[in-house]
Amino acid sequence: MTTTALTGHDLIQSYLKTLDGSPGVYRMLNAASEVLYVGKARNLRARVSNYARPSGHSGRIARMIFETASMMFLTTRTETEALLLEQNLIKQLKPRYNVLLRDDKSFPNILISREHAFPQLKKHRGKRSEKGAYFGPFASAGAVNRTLNQLQKVFLLRNCSDSMFDSRTRPCLQYQIKRCAAPCVGKIDAEGYAVLVADAERFLQGKTTAVQANLAGEMAAASEAMEFERAAALRDRIKALTQVQQSQGINPAGVAEADVVALHLEGGQACVQVFFIRANQSWGNRDFYPRTGAGAEEAEILEAFLAQFYDDKEPPRLILLSHQVENPDLVAELLSERAGRKVELAVPQRGEKAELVENATRNARESLARKMAEGATQNKLLSGLAEAFDLDAPPKRIEVYDNAHIQGSDAVGGMIVAGPEGFLKSQYRKFNIKSAAGANSDDFGMMKEVMTRRFERLLKEDPDRTSGAWPDLLLIDGGAGQVSAVAEIMAELGVDDIAMVGVAKGIDRDAGKEEFYRTGLPVMALPRNDPVLYFIQRLRDEAHRWANGAHRAKRAKVVSATPLDDIPGVGAARKRALLAHFGSAKAVARAGLSDLQAVNGISAAMAQMIVDFFSAKG
């Protein structure tokens, strides 16, 4: 049902007679049919009637009601379904007045793999599809890498791939520097290695005292038996174990497993700090800056954060909060359903748990202060950029383009994005050059291809420019020629209202002497000590880094390619098995049927297909 004659409170009042007390989700839309807000309700009629009141609303809600020109409703069977549907719609539609978690990356774990007789210790990110014991989450790859580094010193578990393990004929460097027991060449048997694996798992489960006591006992026994070399090795492992424990930071004695989620709200901006505690150990923290929905308060922000944050992550048994959420019972029920067990939400007032929340809140406050200071500096630089290049307003989205290749080979174009919040790395793009421009080392042609593909897609997907994906300013790596080439493409596409600046190295190709080219205007430069010049240099250098990284990745992929890649049915796993068994693609091509069938995963039919493939190639 839609109504166009009424708006605001009167419009919302008109919907009440069509609603009952069912749980569900409602959407508020403006005159252009853009979704302003998505909300859930235990009782749709009661919830919507609140908006029909002409007074008693915060400034944020009053603005939202004033803009509302129509509403949409969906009923659900339960309140939990309504909460889940609400969060799915918020992520999909990104309404202006809703709280939105904008940085929702997965977190790394430590995995002790079980798909091999001698399990591998490694970092894992993503779905837990591989068999093994998972420990985490860790706040960052750095936190995982530091812990892995120390665990290898203590437990001597291998970190090499299965194919490398199977191809070893002598110990690698990891064994020489006492970070691996070298099971690949029989330096330790399966039973002894299993003991190391069990110790590592106990440590990661928080049973550090037992592990340390066992190592100390072994060291004493070795000393008594005058096995001084073994005793020294055990002493080194105990020392490394102590370093791991010290590096874990705050290790709460009374909290075995929890996430500590603390919010600080100031000036309409919010920071949420999440600390991960597992096995009585702190495994790091991460800060988030959700969009606050034009002025939402703490309870609404935290509720939306929890529902969105744990959308693709398993929640722990306990979540300690700095503020109570709007519907704690509903959120706990949703998270319990996702985890398949009970999840408890708590706002502790005293004791160790309250101290953990206080520490997280302090971190949130300090992180937000730093970000606001950085944001003020960034806004000042964007204003300076607008002044330097006579732009109508400070740009909200800058796109910087660069190409990378070696004499035309593996040519790649790169695009980075920056704005008031700094670099927007989730929106970086790379373009594999498909035209002859790449092979011909034609930089102008490559830039034309990149810009054509970029803006043809924008014109197709967002012709009305409502998504925020259209740039206000283009920075092109190059001088007059590159700018002219891009201007030609933009004119052909009918996009002639986006400011564009070419950045060239200038005299002696010296940083600080950059020259700037704009269509129809004389070349210009900025003073060497101008902060805006340094800002442009950072943007250009980031574009270089991104394009060169994409080029290296493409070149490495080409280098590692083999004829096996073209055989139907031979995927990554079979390719690794064949190369590990035969040593090279040439040896695979010369192998007979019986030799091929001896490889794990190669059936008689697959062996025949491989033989036929190489026979056809002559």
pLDDT, tens only, 480-515: 888 998 999 999 999 988 999 999 886 655 556 789
Does residue 202 sit in the same domain as residue 305? no
Question: What's the confidence (pLDDT) of residue 2?
Answer: 44
Domain-located, residue 389? no
Does residue 569 sit in the same domain as residue 546? no
Which CATH number does the domain housing residue 594 bear?
A: 1.10.150.20
Does residue 524 sit in the same domain as residue 585? no
Domain-located, residue 382? no
Domain boundary among 513, 535, 557: 557
Does residue 449 sit in the same domain as residue 553? yes
For CA atoms 436, 440, 445, 447, the dihedral sign is: positive
Residue 245 has pLDDT above 60, yes or no: no
Domain-located, residue 143? yes
Question: What's the confidence (pLDDT) of residue 8?
Answer: 84
Domain-located, residue 189? yes
Could you give the maximum distance between any two Cα atoms of the chain, in Å? Answer: 95
Does residue 553 sit in the same domain as residue 568? no
Helix (H) or strand (E) holding 238: helix 228-247
- Average pLDDT in the 230-250 region? 64
**Does residue 290 contact residue 99 with C-beta atoms inside 8 Å?**
yes
Helix (H) or strand (E) holding 322: none
Does residue 539 sit in the same domain as residue 467? yes
Does residue 275 sit in the same domain as residue 228? no
Question: What's the confidence (pLDDT) of residue 382?
Answer: 94
3-state SS track over 163-179? HHHHHCCCCCHHHHCCC
Q: 187 — phi, psi (to 5°)?
A: -70, -15
Which CATH number does the domain housing residue 41 bear?
A: 3.40.1440.10
Residue 573: pLDDT band (50, 70, 90) is confident
**Residue predicted with more confidence, 429 or 254:** 429
Domain boundary among 353, 369, 385: 369
Does residue 59 sit in the same domain as residue 32? yes
Does residue 238 sit in the same domain as residue 123? yes
Does residue 238 sit in the same domain as residue 289? no
**Is the pTM here over 0.75, yes or no?**
no
Residue 1: pLDDT band (50, 70, 90) is very low
Which CATH number does the domain housing residue 512 bear?
A: 3.30.420.340
Residue partners of 332: CB distance under 8 A and separation at least 6: 343, 344, 345
Place of tokens 């927007």: 424
Question: What's the confidence (pLDDT) of residue 512?
Answer: 63
Domain-located, residue 377? no
Q: How many CB atoms lie within 10 A of CB 264?
A: 23
Q: What's the token pair of residue 559?
A: 């280098």
Residue 72: pLDDT band (50, 70, 90) is very high
Does residue 291 sit in the same domain as residue 169? no
Domain-located, residue 350? yes
Strand, helix or coil for residue 72: strand
**Does residue 411 contact residue 438 with C-beta atoms inside 8 Å?**
yes
Domain-located, residue 388? no
Q: Note down the domain range covering 177.
A: 109-247
For CA atoms 53, 56, 61, 64, the dihedral sign is: positive
Does residue 120 sit in the same domain as residue 148? yes
Lowest mean pLDDT among 1-15, 262-276, 542-556: 1-15
Cis link prior to 463 (omega < 30° from 0)?
no
pLDDT tens-digit map of 113-143: 888 889 999 999 888 888 899 988 888 888 8
Question: What's the confidence (pLDDT) of residue 246?
Answer: 53
Exposure string of 389-426, with b = 16+ CB inside 10 Å and e = fewer, is bebeebbebbbbbbbbbeeeebbbbbbbbbbeeebbee
Angle at 288 between CA 287 and CA 289, to 5 degrees: 130
Classify residue 259 as exposed, middle or buried by CB count within 10 Å of its CB (0-12, 13-18, 19+): buried
Residue partners of 123: CB distance under 8 A and separation at least 6: 108, 109, 110, 111, 141, 144, 145, 148
**Residue predicted with more confidence, 217 or 522:** 522
Domain-located, residue 386? no
Classify residue 460 as exposed, middle or buried by CB count within 10 Å of its CB (0-12, 13-18, 19+): exposed
Residue 389: pLDDT band (50, 70, 90) is very high
Residue partners of 346: CB distance under 8 A and separation at least 6: 318, 319, 320, 321, 353
Q: Provide the residue type at 546 as one letter.
A: W
Domain boundary among 64, 97, 130: 97
Q: How many domains are there within the chain?
A: 5
